[in-house]
Amino acid sequence: MSFVPTTPRRQFLSIAGAAMALPALWAGSAAAAMQPAVIETRDGKLRGVRSNGVYSFKGVPYAADTGGANRFQAPRPVAKWTGIRDATTYGAMSPQIKSGMGGDELFEWYEQKEPLGEDCCVLNVFTRGLDAGAKRPVMFYIHGGGYINGGGAGEALDGSNLASFGDVVVVTINHRLNAFGYTQLSHLDAERFGDAANAGHLDILAALEWVRDAIATFGGDPGNVTVFGQSGGGSKIMALLGMKKAQGLFHRAISMSGAAGLAIDPASAMQPYVDALVNELGLSAGHLEAMQRIPFEALLAARSRAVRQSGLEGARPVIDGRHITTQPMSVEGLATHAQVPLMVGCTRTEASLFFRDDMRNFALSEAQMRERMRRVFKVDDGTITAIMKAYREAEPAMSPSDILIAVASDVQFRRPLTRAAETKSGAAGQAPVYVYNFNWTIPALGGLLGAPHAVDIPFAFGTVDKARAMTGPGAAAFETSMNMMAAFVAFARTGRPDNDRMPAWRPYTASSRTTMLIDAECRAVTGYRAAATVAIQDLRIDPFNRAALYRFSA
């Protein structure tokens, strides 16, 4: 099956009724029959379903229950089962405080309602056929939510449409998060808890090993695996790139807004948080095994108190010298992923999602914008004037709020990702790097939010029909989604995102600086926001003062 429509893109947009035809094509009939499907895997038989031409198997365990004595340990193998295991519902999510966007109606598609539990090392598979030997490209998605919350289920992450559109096998996963996946205990007891610091990433490796060993049964090619993920998922991918144990488990990588994974803290940086956590639980270094018996709700509550006490988020991968030994874009890290083509990108106005907590942020005066810039970035008025001029060089109508949102978005997301692209592309013997910006403006609130953080998820999965409160009616969202899926699928097949729906997409280099602007009509540009990039190159945000960036003050 070709993933590129035969109708030219411009003609496609003009077809009458496209806005109604596309949802019907992707979502299928609500009354479509769901036929049971049984498959035998390495661990036992699974019963999934076939619907609208796609097989799905959900809640499939790739590692054992991580509770009790397995808490804070490396993942253990799954015990084989007899009989047929039901795989028609999603499995448990790692214990967490919240799993969504706090009831935001525009992001209802992001919500997940699965139960919480430590038997959370589960994955979901979506495929057009169970023909072993078909060797379909595998697209392995790692969810966002930082390292604290989230999961691989829900309507927006249903891989059926992407699997059908691209004739690929889609895998989504759950893994341990927050205190359960990232608690650096080595300084207290390295012998028994030396794997605790990066247990969440060890889970991801275990899921990739499951794909290596079992995905052929689902029609996938274990020799052609693309990892992709958004926000925290993209950051997890950047850390994976530097892990030697991940070599050979995936062959291409797409980091969507995953800038945080480019700077991995040393293990010592988390010690104040961990010490506060242990203290909150009333324990000492010699009695850490008691942490394995505490109910997960109590551990979550203690974690929240330790975060407040230490001033550290706490949960994130660290350079432990055992599993993660280097930064992904260091010389050693580059050697690890030299043969892995990389795609990185972000949304045009990432930060507008965070400014939305106070809608006054979208109507700032120039004086208010300047005061915020001085307070957060510690810059003078001359520098602010130069930044304003640089942004308005490309977009003269930018308001003070537009400029502040653009600066916040670029400093936190676009700048570190493009620097990573420059680093990889400039090193000898490296596979190519491709850069994109997701530019489609959501119509909600009169387009005020632009293209905020996380907006691109349903576009990558072809589930924009599930996000209509955000995307609104019309064909443009579906057209943009097909453009994005076409690029991602092409990259998964060949390591190059070129496809017939877009202009030629050249690799990113220091000289070409090609960025693909993904929209209903895509454009390849050279030196995207070049003047602005120079103007903000020295801006820094103190992690302890990041909240001040989004806080309105009169």
Residues taking part in catalysis: 231, 350, 453
Q: Which residue has the tokens 């690029």?
A: 487
Q: Which residue has the tokens 């956590």?
A: 277
CA distance 357 to 407: 18
Residue 436 has, within 13 A of its CA and on its CB side, a CA count of: 32
Please, what sign has the CA dihedral across residues 74, 79, 80, 84? Answer: negative
Name the nearest CA neighbour of 244 among 151, 317, 333, 125. 333
CA distance 79 to 303: 31
Which residues, other chains included, contact 27 with Cβ-Cβ below 8 Å and sequence gap of 6+?
161, 465
Burial of 285 (0-12, 13-18, 19+ CB in 10 A): exposed
Dmax (CA) for the chain in angstroms is 72
Give the chain's radius of gyration (CA, Å): 23
Give the bridge partners for 84, in sequence order: 45
Which residues, other chains included, contact 326 with Cβ-Cβ below 8 Å and sequence gap of 6+?
242, 319, 332, 333, 336
Give the bridge partners for 332, in sequence order: none
Name the nearest CA neighbour of 223 among 157, 133, 128. 133
Question: How long, in residues, is the chain?
Answer: 554
